[in-house]
């Protein structure tokens, strides 16, 4: 099963004509998960022809304006459109108090939402039948998280082989999927002969951090790594700014992808200073990791 990902916004603190503030949507088995909600995110939903009322969860990496200032407007829109689900919001320590203040200031006058806000750092954020969502803390001067969606391995029936057997009792399918052999029309059918194991996929998002061991830990063996690349390392000034503001360079993003044995890297969180020189970020990252692309607003990917 393909996992659709829409990169709604790709800018840093200052948006540009072609880059909106940060937000990423991951869709999987009925879950619509938004990672960060920068200013203008709800409009990016409209441009991408996506319905924000299908959201089930919001993951906040950290409480900086370019990652959360879209929340008030998005929550107002959900209320005005009759959103009737329970919306789970996760983020680093302090998010409960911050969300309460945000709702009191901007949202509650429009009505009520069924919100569950949870503070998390390292470990499992939540789990479904299909995947686990994990988090690891980053280094950005304030509490900050990165996130990984990790699929569970599943046993699937080989539809072609099953069709040839002409099994009518669907209850037997469940036994085969559980790895149990069955008897049908006097013959023993081994589960291993008609089933296969899926290859689980992993998607990791690292935004706003200085280089640290958890970057490599959370990105390990990712099929797709979306990683910030705020500065160029190929200049003394860029490296100093990255260190000073606790951000990553394109070179470091490439290093993380390489050392973590990720399969694909997408550079995000692109500074306005490189608006006309984005190719330099891409070139620098590719020196470390060849399978790299640079994110664009409304970019759609399937993993």
Could you say which of 36, 66, 208, 297 is catalytic?
Answer: 66
Strands 202-206 and 224-228: parallel
* Residue 59, helix vs strand vs coil: strand
Count of other CB atoms within 10 angstroms of residue 173:
15
Task: Count Cβ atoms below 10 Å from residue 124 Cβ, excluding itself.
Answer: 11
Is residue 233 within 8 A of residue 249, CB to CB? The reply is yes
Question: Helix crossing, 250-259 with 278-288: angle to 10°?
Answer: 30
How far is Cα 253 from Cα 284, in angstroms, rounded to an integer? 9
DSSP, res 110? G
Sign of the four-CA dihedral 293, 200, 35, 297? positive
Q: Does the annotation mark 36 as catalytic?
A: no
Residue whose structure tokens are 């391995």: 153
- Contact (CB, 8 A) for 34 and 23: yes
- Residues annotated catalytic, as ranges: 66
């Amino acid at each position: 099963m393909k996992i659709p990902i829409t990169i709604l916004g790709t800018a840093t603190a200052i948006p540009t004509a072609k880059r909106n503030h940060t937000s990423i949507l991951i869709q999987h088995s009925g879950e619509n998960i938004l990672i960060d909600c920068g200013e203008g995110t709800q409009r990016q939903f409209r441009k991408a022809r996506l319905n924000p009322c299908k959201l089930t969860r919001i993951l906040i990496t950290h409480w900086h304006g370019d990652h959360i200032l879209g929340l008030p407007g998005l929550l107002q829109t959900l209320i005005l459109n009759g959103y009737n689900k329970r919306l789970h919001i996760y983020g680093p320590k302090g998010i409960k108090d911050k969300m309460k203040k945000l709702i009191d200031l901007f949202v509650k006058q429009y009505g009520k939402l069924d919100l569950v806000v949870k503070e998390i750092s390292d470990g499992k954020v939540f789990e479904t039948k299909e995947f686990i969502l994990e988090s690891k803390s980053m280094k950005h001067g304030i509490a900050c998280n990165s996130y990984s969606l990790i699929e569970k391995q599943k046993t699937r029936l080989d539809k072609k082989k099953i069709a040839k057997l002409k099994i009518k009792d669907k209850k037997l399918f469940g036994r085969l999927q559980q790895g149990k052999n069955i008897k049908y029309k006097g013959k023993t059918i081994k589960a291993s002969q008609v089933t296969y194991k899926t290859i689980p996929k992993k998607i990791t998002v690292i935004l706003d951090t200085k280089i640290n061991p958890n970057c490599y830990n959370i990105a390990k063996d990712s099929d797709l790594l979306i990683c910030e690349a705020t500065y160029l390392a190929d200049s003394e000034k860029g490296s100093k700014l990255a260190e000073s503001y606790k951000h990553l360079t394109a070179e470091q993003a490439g290093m993380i992808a390489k050392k973590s044995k990720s399969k694909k890297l997408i550079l995000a969180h692109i500074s306005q200073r490189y608006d006309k020189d984005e190719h330099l970020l891409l070139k620098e990252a590719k020196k470390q990791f060849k399978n790299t692309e640079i994110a664009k607003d409304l970019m759609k990917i399937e993993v």
